[in-house]
Amino acid sequence: MLLVRAFAHGLLDSGSVSRAAAATSLRIDVNLAAPGELVAVPGIGPSRAEAIVLHRVRHGLFRTVDDLATVDGIGPGMLAALRPFVCVRPPGEPAGASAGGR
């Protein structure tokens, strides 16, 4: 547990993306994003970003955006608010490709 938290905290300090830059991109892939990128999504702060990364480390990659509902602190309302800003791309799909509502 401590190692996982230390790993996630190390990620929180890396890869910061501005909110303006994130707003101009299509969607953030929750399987690839570092916590610094996740906080660019409206409704995701540092704690929620850490929870997403910890869930990903413990349970593996998300298969769909709906899987975010299994993360602590993300309920149906938050999931609906996040849906326009996040995606889950299939392995091997280029970052510029549209992932639809996955």
Q: What is the pLDDT of residue 90?
A: 79
| CA atoms of 92 and 102, how far apart (whole Å) | 15
Q: Each residue of 18-28: pLDDT tens digit?
A: 444 444 457 99
Residue range 38-59: mean pLDDT, rounded: 97
pTM here? Answer: 0.68
Binned at pLDDT 50, 70 and 90, residue 93 comes out as: low
pLDDT tens for 55-92 read 999 999 999 999 999 999 999 999 999 999 999 987 76
Q: What is the pLDDT of residue 10?
A: 53
Domains and CATH numbers, the chain: 2-87 (1.10.150.320)
